[in-house]
Amino acid sequence: MQPVNSLNQAAASCNSVTVTDKLWTEVPELAAVYDTECAGRRDHDFYLALVARFDARTVVDLGCGTGVFCVDVAARGRTSIGIDPAEPMLDIARRRPGGDQVEWVHGSAADGPAGAAELVIMMGHVAQYFVDDDAWASTLAHVHRMLVPGGRLAFEVRNPAIDWASRWTRQSTESALDHPDGGTFDSWVEVVDVVGPPESYRMTHEGHTVLPDGRHLSARETLRFRSREQIEATLAAHGFTVEQVCGDWDHSPVRADSLEFIFVAKRT
C-alpha cells in the first residue's frame, strides 16, 4: 500500500488502495457513509431516555459526529450543543434537517461551556479515542467543568475481556450497503496491532471502504480498552460518583460476556 496525504489522489486502478494518514472522521468520503454504517439506535434511544430521566435542559454531545443525537435533543425543546474535532462530520451535522437548532462547536472538551450542562454524553465509543491516560484525564476534568453541580456524564466503552481481534476480521465485518449518493459501497475492518496487558490495551484496526466508483480507501485508528475498575477509578479521581453501569442497552447488569460497559456518573 502506498500512503498518501490526501484522498484527492485517485487510485491508479480499481485494485489499488488509497491509504490516508488522517483519522477517518477527517476524510469527507468516509464521513459521508458513517450514518449508513451506524444506523442502529439502541445507544441513541438509551441516551435520549437519560435526557428525560434527568430533565436535562442543556445537553452536550462530546464527539457528536454527524449530529443525529443533537438534532433529536433539540427537537425535544432542550438546548443542544454538539462538539467534534472533525470538520467533515460537522459539515454533515450542520446540513442535517434541524441542524440550525443546535450549537455546533468545532473543537474538543476544552472548548465546551463552563457550568452549562445537566448532561454530557459521549456516545459511539468516543471515550475509547482518548488513548493516552493524560488525554482521558484532561477530558474528564473538562467535562466536570462543563457540568452543573449534580449533572451527569454518560458514555460507553467496549469490554476489554471480549476477544475483539477475532470479531473484527474482514470475514466477520464485511458488508455491502447503499451509498447515500447512489450505488453501493463495501466496508470492513481488520485488526492490525494490539499492545498492552489484557485489562488495559491499545488496539489498532484498519477500516476499508470501496466506494461506488471503485475507489478503495483505507484508514487506521487506535482505540484504548480500559477495565471497568480503571474507568471507575479515573471517574472518582475527577469528581464523579458512578451511579449505574449497564452491560447492554436494555439496562441489564454487567456480566463477564457483556460487550459494553455503559456508565452513568454524577458530578460531585
- Do residue 16 and residue 60 come from a single domain? no
Instruction: State whether residue 127 is helix, strand or coil.
Output: helix
> Does some domain include residue 36?
no
- Do residue 87 and residue 148 come from a single domain? yes
What is the pLDDT confidence band of residue 15, given thresholds at 50, 70 and 90?
low
Grid coordinates belonging to 59: 445537553
CA angle 223, 80, 137 (to 5 degrees): 35
- Specify the number of domains making up the chain: 2
- Do residue 154 and residue 173 come from a single domain? no
Report CA Rg, the chain. Answer: 19
CB-CB contact of 154 with 259 (8 Å): no
- Do residue 167 and residue 131 come from a single domain? no
- Do residue 56 and residue 154 come from a single domain? yes
Supply the pLDDT for residue 13.
39
- Do residue 143 and residue 233 come from a single domain? yes
pLDDT digits (tens, 9 = 90+) for 103-157: 999 999 999 999 999 999 999 999 999 999 999 999 999 999 999 999 999 999 9
> Does some domain include residue 83?
yes
pLDDT digits (tens, 9 = 90+) for 58-117: 999 999 999 999 999 999 999 999 999 999 999 999 999 999 999 999 999 999 999 999
CA-closest candidate to residue 47, choices 130, 189, 153, 137 = 153
- Do residue 67 and residue 87 come from a single domain? yes
> Does some domain include residue 76?
yes
- Do residue 91 and residue 166 come from a single domain? no
Grid coordinates belonging to 218: 483505507
What is the pLDDT confidence band of residue 40, given thresholds at 50, 70 and 90?
confident
CA-closest candidate to residue 11, choices 257, 208, 241, 156 = 208
> Does some domain include residue 91?
yes
Average pLDDT over residues 223-237: 98
What is the pLDDT confidence band of residue 4, given thresholds at 50, 70 and 90?
very low
Residue whose cell numbers read 428525560? 52
- Do residue 126 and residue 170 come from a single domain? no
- Do residue 137 and residue 103 come from a single domain? yes
Range of 19's domain? 2-26+161-224
Question: Has residue 5 got a pLDDT over 50?
Answer: no
Supply the pLDDT for residue 81.
98
CA-closest candidate to residue 200, choices 128, 255, 256 = 128
Q: What is the mean pLDDT of the chain?
A: 94
What is the spatial distance between Cα 194 and Cα 191, in angstroms, rounded to a whole number? 8
- Do residue 50 and residue 131 come from a single domain? yes
